[in-house]
Amino acid sequence: MRKFLTSLLFFASVSAFSQEKLVVYFDFDSHGLTTEARQQLSEFSMANASSKISLFGHCDSRGTNAYNDALALRRVNSVRAFLVSKGIPETHIIESRGFGEEQPLNQNKTEEDRRLNRRVEIVYTRAEIPQEPIAPPEKQEPIEGETPVTLQQRIHDTLLQEGANLVLQNLNFYGGMARIVPASYPMLEELLNVMQTTPGLEIEIQGHICCQPGDGDGVNSETGERSLSLDRAKAIHDYLVKNGIDKKRLSYKGFGHSQPIYPYPERNPEEAEANRRVEIKILRK
């Protein structure tokens, strides 16, 4: 009961301060980072250089308490060292703790249960720093004093043919997740307005990720599935459907890292942001 209350109080405090959480998983009896964990942490580092971070290590129930306490701390140290190597300042990692097997997510009855308990939770508070919009190379900056071109105008441009793609500017997600950051809702509302006022418009929503080698998709840290770009495209699809847009006018697809604007490895946060994007393909105008 005491363990349960400790866990409950921990998560209640996380919720009260609106913190976010990323989870990475480990192989049995190992503190080495898996390929998936490295990909998740690389993307996280790109998006959270200014965040305040706490690291909490956990184990399954196999082994003695003393052994698992030490293993959980080694897992935390592996994550810590990797984040620092990717540019996260040491001073931004404000807490590192190993809980051993004291805070399981389940009863460790199956191998999947045990896998979910072999984890490090990265709890972080995102710094509220204004960010410059990141534009892909083909975007032209507006002339000073000129009104920026709206999404409505871009879609209704007579030169834009069916089959063409448009990048949804300033539409961003939390690192490793399909959760949209609050600052992106103006673009979502603009897209919704375009769909509402252009009843013949049909689109395919296309998700893309950054910061990993090869063409595959990234791991969604909230589900553990390798479907991050697909899940992000679906998040936009679901927002439009929830707000009254007919599903028949929408489709979605994830491209993983197969169509980057900038090649891997991305050299800076701007290139990562440009690759981590959502586009819409005009199917019918």
Please enumerate, as own/partner, the contacts of 88-93 that have beta carbons within 8 Å and a separation of 24 or more. 88/45, 88/48, 88/49, 88/53, 89/49, 92/50, 92/51, 92/52, 92/53, 93/53, 93/54, 93/55
Do the domains 151-284 and 2-125 match in fold?
yes
**Cis ω on the peptide bond leading into residue 265 (within 30° of 0)?**
yes
Q: Which helix (H) or strand (E) holds 98?
A: strand 93-98
Among 58-72, 132-146, 172-186, 264-278, the range scoring the smallest mean pLDDT is 132-146
Is it the case that residue 251 has pLDDT exceeding 60?
Answer: yes
The pLDDT of residue 47 is above 80: no
Longest dimension (CA), the chain: 69
Pairing of strands 20-25, 119-125: antiparallel
pLDDT band, residue 242 (cuts 50/70/90): very high
Determine the pLDDT at residue 101.
Answer: 94
Spatial CA neighbour of 221 closest among 207, 236, 232: 232
From the options 3.30.1330.60, 1.10.3720.10, 2.120.10.30, 3.40.190.80, give the CATH code of 151-284. 3.30.1330.60
Distance of CA 208 to the CA centre of its chain: 11
Cα→Cα distances 266→43, 118, 213, Å:
10, 30, 10
pLDDT at 13: 40
Q: Can you tell me whether residue 257 is helix, strand or coil?
A: coil
The CATH fold assigned to 2-125 is: 60s Ribosomal Protein L30; Chain: A; (3.30.1330)
What pLDDT digit, counting tens, does each position of 141-156 carry?
544 555 567 887 877 7
> Of 237, 243, 231, whose CA–CA distance to 281 is shortest?
237
pLDDT tens column, 185-233: 899 999 999 999 999 999 999 999 887 778 888 888 778 788 999 999 9
pLDDT of residue 97: 93
Q: Which residue has the tokens 């045990």?
A: 114
Region 83-107 average pLDDT: 92
Residue 147 has a pLDDT of 57
Average per-residue pLDDT for the chain: 83
Q: Where are the chain's structural domains?
A: 2-125, 151-284
Above 50 in pLDDT, residue 17? no
Q: Are 183 and 190 in contact (CB under 8 A)?
A: no
